[in-house]
Chain A
Amino acid sequence: MLVSYRWLGRHVDLTGVTPQALADLLTLSTAEVEGIEPFAPHLNDVRVGLVEARAAHPDADKLGVCTVQLDGSGKDEPLQIVCGAPNVAAGQRVAVATVGTRLPGDIKIKKSKIRGVESRGMICSVRELELGEEHDGIWVLPESAQIGQPVASALGLDDWVLEIDNKSLTHRPDCWGHRGLAREIAVLLQRELRPLVQPKIETGSAKATAVQIETPGCPRYMALEVDGARPLPSPAWLRFLLLAVGQRPVDQLVDLSNFVMLDLGQPTHVFDRAGLSPEGIRVRQARATETLTTLDGEPRKLQESDLLICNGERPIALAGVMGGESSKVTEDSSKLLLEVANFAPVAVRRTAMRLGLRTDASARFEKSLDPNLTVEALTSFAAELKALQPDVLFPSAPADAGDWQDPSCSIALRPERARAVLGADISDGDMQAILERLGFVVQTRGTTFAVQVPSWRATKDISIEEDLIEEIGRIHRYDRIPEQALYGAIAPPPRDRRRETVHRTQDRLAGAARFHEVLTYSFHSDRLIELFGIGDQPHVKLVNPVAEGEGRIRRSVLPSVLALLEKNRRRYDDVRLFEIGKGYLPEDAGERGEPRQVHQIALAWATPPPPKKARFDAARFGELQGVLDDLFRSLDLAPHCWGALGEGQLPGWAHPHKHLAAHFAGLETPVAILADLEPGLARRLGLSGELASDVAVAEVSLDLLIEAPRSEGGYRPIPKFPGIKVDVAVLVDNRRPAGEVAEAIRKAGKGAVAELELFDLYRGDSVGAGKKSLAYHVLLQSENKTLTDQDSQKFLGRLERQLQGLDGELRKG
């Protein structure tokens, strides 16, 4: 909301208070002032000039050559200015922009020749100074304007505009006008709020317009008949106040309506009474079948929740939001009806929101206005109009309908409680003084105050003791409250396994495993869902997505991580990404309809495919498996085993054969699924051609990781006796799983195999078709003795026999 410093000054004496000081006061006690700007700063550069003479231009009929005096003493040489305005005449005081002056729109005045005649400045129109729309002639200043003075000070237009954050006024219906803010300022400056001048309105004895209220949505409706008002331009004082706060002056009726709203915070509306039937005004709820064309020419479909102002049956305005086209005031209107009403905030708000019609009026009504305000606003409007147009008549006394009640209420305040909550030592007397300055009435009852809340604060903002404590605190000033350290018995927080697991996982993955952590959106695009072929799975859907096709909440974290591979693989050969995040499953909703939350770790590792002759273990799959093994171990989990997935558990992103699941004892569901990226999906994700990649992918359930069994202990004594290293190479059928060979080696070792490492896997002509050679480093070690060559010979003998059972043999040499 924009606020004019000069306007505030109409209500409270601001002598000696700079706009900045005022802004600071408001910010620290009332509402945040977001900015201060001088009003029309160019008016300080444009000066009052006297047109001494106007001569015809020798070469152009429509141009005049003016002699303009800018020196009040008349000593300086007057300027010659060529001017095309039809209304410029000798003897006028005008606004002159001299050479070098900058005007709005980045216009810089230069010395020029117009059709051969030198011109040393510009005589300005209202529009050129951004003070209105008029441009049919230059702006003629009043006789009182002092020649040579800047226009701003000559006309008393020096002003500053304060921008107040609307959010900080959400709960302050009383502060949506200059007078309400001035009331605050008066309290803060400890100065008097000037009394509101409310002259008595002379009204005729005709019967007032009938007003009938048929809905609880309108607590009060006042209406005043106005005859003979004309849409004349407003006087300068009114125009400039409105301009300062960003309102475009239109005519006296519109301007006064805006003025009253911006001054007192109460919206008003003016109908053309000529079009109204004698049935008068009815306020009622709309019917679902009705439509109303609003002032902006838009036909609006109504709903039963909308509040309507009707003339008889016929809707003429959307209450509190916007007037109707049919009763719009035009140049020919002379019989008018002024509406000053109080509407229910919820109804106005719903209608305004639904129709996307947030007007200055609706913004105020939805804050809960004081129903007492209608009288002040009506009187103010009528009095100002009468002052501007003395011919105007009010044929009847204002109608005043509604079963409104004065919202004033009484609240008990315990000063002791206020001190305890604020942590500030404010005396009872100081509290009472603060409240009374704010307009509250305080009566002491023992150790308690009975506080009467004035009506303008009682509609919404102030209803409980804490609200009064806030009043005391903010006027005392929060920045004067001393800081204090927290004290008190606090037990150490319970162990948080989830957070621990998240932290360790992050550290392990970003550390030794060299993965980069990413965060991706919780929304999955339709395109991504299509790529993954998961469109048939239930998703939590948004009513109002940020963009078309971005309306589904992810079920799992992996897809959006995989979607990052392509762009990163364009720049990097080795891309390792992980995200720890949440997915939502609507089919598994809780009692109150909330979807089940799954907490997951998604991992993806992409590199160019290994060359044909690469080592057997050069594939990402095995390396990512190693990363997960290491992760589980670093989480102190009990041993896991890698195995097959159950029926129907294979996710769409997993290679149909190259996948594994990590199982833990006691958990039915695998904790992790590890796979090569499904080749078709890899292509759809753009990982083909020069970006073709070896991609290993894993999805780990963080929820299950937390449940997985922990290992107890795990320390092995350091061996007392040296072991012996034996390398063995085994030839088996190509289809024989390596796990069976490893098992055979362990059996042959009879418990003495302390370490077993596969270091080569070879398939090729030299070992025969359909065969493979597996080579292992074996460490044999005993807890009781030093093993000898003899022991290793025995081991090899046993191994040969074991291998026979696998149709395999020990390779010699």
Chain B
Amino acid sequence: MSDTPETILAQALEEIAACSDAGALKAVERSYVGKDGRTAKMLASIPSLPPEERPAAGKNANILKKQVLEALAARSAQLDSASLAEAREGGDFDATLPGSKALRGSLHPITQMIRNVEEVFCSMGYQVLDGPEVELDHYNFEALNFPPDHPAREEYDTFWCEGQGDLLLRTHTSPVQVRAMERLSPPIRAIAPGRVFRHEDQDATHEHTFHQVEGLVIDRGIHVGHLIGTLKSFLRERFERELEVRLRPGFFPFVEPGFELDVRCPFCTSGCRVCSKTTWVEFCGCGMVHPNVLRAGNIDPEEYTGFAFGFGLDRLVMLKYGIDDIRHFMGGDLRFMEQF
């Protein structure tokens, strides 16, 4: 036997030092201290030694095994920290490479605004109602206190349908008011977003098809202060800050008194394009529900009062994103849609 424990150890240490990864270390470990490794063989050969040599041989083999294992552990730790250090290197990292493109669809910005509005009002206990776009004159005008030949009808540039003369495309979301009163009994807190139509020529700021949200609250003791409080709460949530509002007279046959609500321009402090340099932006038409409308909805105006409001959604979306042409909303161009 030419190999002494010393030479084996020297050989092992050399091989261990040459290992550059965990796999190589495993191989060295197997060949020296494994089941069939060199130290195992040394121990296995002990019984063939003269008895007096056996204790020393056993001791030497165990010392050798221990030394090899220690060297392996040390080298392993060394390799570990080296690989960690390497992992922490910057390498060819390029901070300017683009992230891979996440593929996504989109919700129409009007949908998103409707949801946003619904969320705020639902949190205040409102329910969301829906109404037909092809509507009866009764709900769009008559029950809203526009008798036939009322001059205010004309301001609504109505699309009329052929046939019995009683069908039209709803000019506002207000028909949902009487529909709601017929279906629900007070207390009522409801909003009704949806598509409305006016016979208008199209340009960058005019569409014949656009979107509104109607609001209706009916209960005992409802007054103008509640209307102001409600719309202020909504604006506070929508614009995430306190915005001054002002109520001024406005004429709509279905409310009495009727108002226009202006909001202090959220985009400037001293006049800008949005507010036409007035610092006020017209936000919505509103008022106390006219007794004739309550009666049309089978509600006793002596017992209940209510307020109603209606505002356009398209302009809110245009202001939010700075969209300069209202026609994009119905244009179906992916280059527009995918931005939302």
Contacts and interface: CB of A to CB of B under 8 A. Distances in A.
A236 to B, nearest CB: 33
Contacts of A210: none
A27 B330 contact: no
Contacts, number: 237
B223 A421 contact: yes
Given A503-B115, A594-B167, A483 B209 contact: no
Interface residues of A, number: 89
Interface string B70-89: 00000000000000000000
Contact of A543 (B151, B161, B200): B161
Contact of A584 (B134, B152, B201, B202): B134
Nearest to A563: B332
Interface stretch (B29-37, B46-54, B60-68, B250-258): B250-258
Contacts of B195: 519, 522
A18 to B, nearest CB: 15
23 contacts: A168-B260, A170-B155, A353-B154, A420-B221, A421-B224, A424-B224, A466-B291, A470-B256, A478-B224, A479-B248, A483-B225, A489-B187, A490-B187, A492-B125, A493-B125, A511-B104, A517-B111, A518-B332, A553-B169, A575-B334, A582-B133, A593-B164, A597-B134
A510 B105 contact: yes
B149 interface: yes
Contacts of B338: 516
Interface string A119-135: 00000000000000000
A168 B251 contact: yes
Contacts of A496: 127-128
Contacts of A28: 246, 248-249
Given A423-B225, A478-B247, A567 B127 contact: no
A422 B221 CA distance: 10
B233 to A, nearest CB: 7
Contacts of B164: 593
B290 interface: yes
Most buried by A among B208, B250, B256, B332: B332
B126 A595 contact: no
Contacts of A481: 224-225, 228, 247
Contacts of A514: 103-105
Contact of B219 (A466, A488, A509, A586): A488
Contacts of B208: 546
A577 interface: yes
Contact of B251 (A170, A366, A584, A595): A170
Interface stretch (A342-350, A681-689, A691-699): A342-350
Interface in B93-110: 103-108, 110
A575 B259 CA distance: 46
Interface in B236-275: 246-251, 253, 256-260
A473 interface: yes
B232 to A, nearest CB: 5
B138 interface: yes
Nearest to B287: A470
B337 A486 contact: no
Nearest to B102: A514
Nearest to A560: B332
A366 B155 CA distance: 14
Contact of B132 (A366, A422, A576, A582): A582
Interface stretch (A29-37, A225-233, A316-324): A29-37
A517 B219 contact: no
B41 to A, nearest CB: 39
Contacts of A564: 332
Contact of A466 (B125, B257, B329): B257
Interface in B303-338: 305, 329-330, 332-335, 337-338
Interface string A305-349: 000000000000000000000000000000000000000011001
B105 A509 contact: yes
A469 B294 CA distance: 17
A521 B159 contact: no
Nearest to A367: B151
B188 to A, nearest CB: 10
A490 B184 CA distance: 13
A755 to B, nearest CB: 27
A541 interface: yes
A498 B130 contact: yes
B151 A170 contact: yes
A513 interface: yes
A185 to B, nearest CB: 14
Interface string B173-198: 00000000000000101000001010
Contacts of A593: 136, 163-164, 166-167
Contact of B259 (A478, A492, A494, A541): A478
Interface string A13-49: 0000000000000011111100000000000000000
B291 A520 contact: no
Contacts of A544: 159-160, 199
Contact of B260 (A32, A420, A582): A32
A247 B160 CA distance: 35
Given A167-B251, A470-B258, A485-B229, 18 more contacts: A27-B248, A30-B249, A168-B260, A345-B149, A481-B224, A485-B233, A493-B127, A510-B107, A511-B104, A517-B107, A518-B108, A540-B167, A541-B161, A542-B160, A543-B161, A553-B169, A567-B332, A571-B334
A595 B134 contact: yes
Contacts of A594: 132, 134-136, 167
Interface residues of B, number: 84
Contact of B133 (A517, A522, A586): A522
Contact of A483 (B167, B202, B228): B228
A423 B105 contact: no
A317 B132 CA distance: 44
Contact of A422 (B104, B223, B335): B223
A263 B291 CA distance: 34
Contacts of B260: 32, 168
A537 interface: no
Most buried by A among B199, B230, B250, B337: B337
A167 B153 CA distance: 11
B108 A519 contact: yes
Contacts of B290: 466
B16 interface: no
A586 B161 CA distance: 11
B44 interface: no
B106 A517 contact: yes
Contacts of A582: 132-133
B12 interface: no
Nearest to B132: A597
A445 interface: no
A515 interface: yes
Nearest to B244: A479
A198 B82 CA distance: 109
B143 interface: no
B221 to A, nearest CB: 7
Interface in A545-559: 545-546, 553
Given A170-B152, A516-B105, A521 B248 contact: no
Contacts of B103: 514
Closest 10 CB pairs of A and B: A423-B225, A423-B223, A493-B127, A470-B257, A484-B225, A478-B247, A510-B105, A564-B332, A483-B229, A490-B125
Interface in B110-167: 110-111, 115, 122, 124-128, 130, 132-136, 138, 149, 151-152, 154-155, 159-164, 166-167
A200 interface: no
A464 B128 contact: no
Contact of A518 (B134, B163, B197, B337): B337
A542 B161 contact: yes
Given A516-B337, A519-B110, A542-B162, A484 B229 contact: yes
B226 interface: yes
B143 to A, nearest CB: 12
Nearest to A172: B251
